[in-house]
Amino acid sequence: MDKFRMIFQFFQSNQESFMNGICGIMALASTQMYSAFDFNCPCLPHYNLAYGLGILLVPPFILFLLGFVLNNNISMLAEEWRRPQGQRGKDPAVLRYMFCSMAQRALIAPVVWVSVTLLDGKCITCAFCTSVPVESLGNASYPRLSQGEIQRVLARIPCRDIYNGQQLIANEVAVRYLRCISQALGWCFVLLMTILAFLVRSLRPCFSQAAFLKSRYWSHYIDIERKLFDETCAEHARSFAKVCIQQFFEGMSTDLAAARFHLPRKVPADAGEAAEKLLGITDEGTMNMALKSWHRCKPPLHLHPPALPTRNGWAGEGQPPPHPCAPRRETAAYYSWV
């Protein structure tokens, strides 16, 4: 149990570790799904190819989309891509980094499915059983069979119980031939995906290390900023609801006390603390305006204090004061002793 607890805590340490854990679980789930899947080839010339390639390609596409759906960053990426420019610019490099990071994790489960399917060989056997070279593996001079009839006989190779072409080509020979080709393709696919993953994960930062670090940093910043904003909104909503409920019950107790000539109850001590957490936003319209302002014009990423005007002039460099003083008018008075 301690090991599982440590693994669970590692997955919860940050967003990247959590998504790696989700992708690993999806990869294991894809292998379990394939092992539990009842593969039934139709054994018909015009349907074998569609069924075999469909089982090989359609589930990986579904798993790929499911990997994007389960990724929490997809909504963050869409929000960052579609939000107005506002006071903060949008960096396309950060958006590309976020999309590539999600795509790499979402591809793990489809790659596992395709690898397991090719190494098993059932899909390739069903899809390309009509392409077995009868001239080199069987009896090409088998009489009284047209090309269409030969295709119908070869289409029954995956279905051993209804196969009736042992005199044309042995079922074991054809199945072993197609399975060897499928396993060769499977190992080549695994090798290719491993090399691509190595190149993407290790060689890419070597050529643009500064840009890679910048994109990774601001991607993490957007994720953390969104979490803190959600936590702040949840805390404000909790405080708002608490003060609203307390005011409701205080009003009810005051009405009851006025009707029964009793003194009202004392205000709870934590009411002031909840009111302080509202930060001056005490009505629905102001809160909606604050949320719209956050979406339309996020504050710029600049933490320096604003420059303040001094007695001798403006303290900022190259920035005029917000309200320049009007030029002072001077008057002269003349007196005569006459």
> What average pLDDT values come out for the chain (338 residues) when binned by 10 residues?
56 59 78 84 90 93 88 81 83 88 87 93 92 81 75 89 85 92 95 90 78 86 89 90 86 69 54 70 87 86 64 45 45 39
pLDDT of amino acid 19: 66
pLDDT of amino acid 124: 94
Closest CA to 156 of 49, 60, 45: 45
pLDDT of amino acid 281: 82
pLDDT of amino acid 317: 43
Q: Cα 66 to chain center, whole Å?
A: 10
pLDDT of amino acid 26: 79
- The two three-digit tokens of residue 321, written as one number: 């004061």
Cβ atoms within 10 Å, residue 317: 6
pLDDT of amino acid 258: 66
| First vs last C-alpha separation in the chain | 111
* Under 8 Å between Cβ of 177 and 131: no
pLDDT of amino acid 333: 41
pLDDT of amino acid 272: 63
- The two three-digit tokens of residue 258, written as one number: 């006025």
Q: Cα 99 to chain center, whole Å?
A: 8
Q: Is 237 exposed, middle or buried (0-12, 13-18, 19+ CB in 10 A)?
A: exposed
CA distances from 152 to 8, 106, 124, 129, 157 (A): 54, 40, 17, 10, 10
